[in-house]
Each structure stands twice: as structure tokens, then as C-alpha cells.
Amino acid sequence: MNNKEILSDLLQRSRAYAKLKIRRRIDTALHGQHPKAAVVCCSDSRVIPEEIFARSIGDIFVIRTAGNTAGVSEVESLSYAHHHLGIELFIVLGHTHCGAVDSTIHGEHCSIFDAIASHIGEEKDPKKATMENARQVAKELSSRFPEVDVVPLLYDIETGEVSRL
Ligand SMILES: [Zn+2]
């Protein structure tokens, strides 16, 4: 598929989605969103928080970056989630086989990889590094939002299991 075909396919799928009269979509459009938790997770296409936690439209406020990092934009988004939407639970969801963590371990540099590097130190084991990265992001968010519960979790992309860190 070339890009034109891919876009056409996506738009066709979106039209099918729009035809579904999903009650939740209509209700949240009319009455606003009241998500109960914010999730900071990786942009990895295999990590889909709504599916992982069996939630739907309006349930979770999701922030996605490569390597579930939290820079200025992400922190400001979380500030909005807390102060405007009343969310008092932030989840930092690391995942196994994270490409951003692997790239960091292999010495690649960009602002995201450098942030991950500062979290994982000399750790070379991908899973341990992923766990430490999620823990450190949660720790940073806890210091910025001391009134919020910030919980680091690990998602296994193979088994679908989520564990506490
Ligand atoms: Zn990832």
C-alpha cells in the first residue's frame, strides 16, 4: 500500500466508525469528559491503554510519547488533566520490547533518548531498563504533582499482563 491508499483506507474506516451510533461518544460530546485516570504510555502501536485496561471513550486521559517520557508538553497536559478534569491518578505505563529504550541502550541520542538515559543509567537489560525508566518518570511526576497518586506499571506486549513496579 502506498500512502495515498493507506490514507484512503483510514478515511474509509473512519466513515464506518462514524456510522456506529456509539452512545458513549454522543454522551461525552454532549456532557463532557470525566476520565478517572491519566496514562502516560509509549507511542508504540502495540500499546493501547483503552484496550489494555478494558476502558472506552471518556474513561482515560492518554498521553503518548516514545518511551513514555514526560517533557514540558506532557507535564502541561497532565497539569490540565489534574486541574481541569480533576484527575488524581496518573499511571506511567512502560512496556516490554520498547524501541525507545532499546535505542537508548544502544547509544542513540535525541531529547527523548537522553531523558531515558538519565533514568536508566548504565542498565543494559532492556526489561530492567524499561522498568527503571517508568519508575523514574513516575518519581519525577510525583515531585511535580505531590497531591496526585502516580503509579508506574509495566505492560507485557506478549502476554497482555500489567504488573506494578
Ligand atoms: Zn515503547
- Note the CATH architecture for domain 33-164: 3-Layer(aba) Sandwich (3.40)
Question: Taking the model in full, what pTM does it have?
Answer: 0.95
| pLDDT at residue 68, as a whole number | 98
3-state helix, strand, coil split of the chain in percent (to 5) is: 50, 20, 35
| pLDDT at residue 136, as a whole number | 98
Decide: residue 70, CB within 10 A, 0-12 exposed, 13-18 middle, 19+ buried.
buried
Cα of 46 to ligand 1 centre, how many Å? Answer: 9
Digit-coded pLDDT (tens) for 99-144: 999 999 999 999 999 999 999 999 999 999 999 999 999 999 999 9
Cα of 164 to ligand 1 centre, how many Å? Answer: 17
Cα of 121 to ligand 1 centre, how many Å? Answer: 18
Locate the domains of the chain by residue range. Answer: 1-32, 33-164
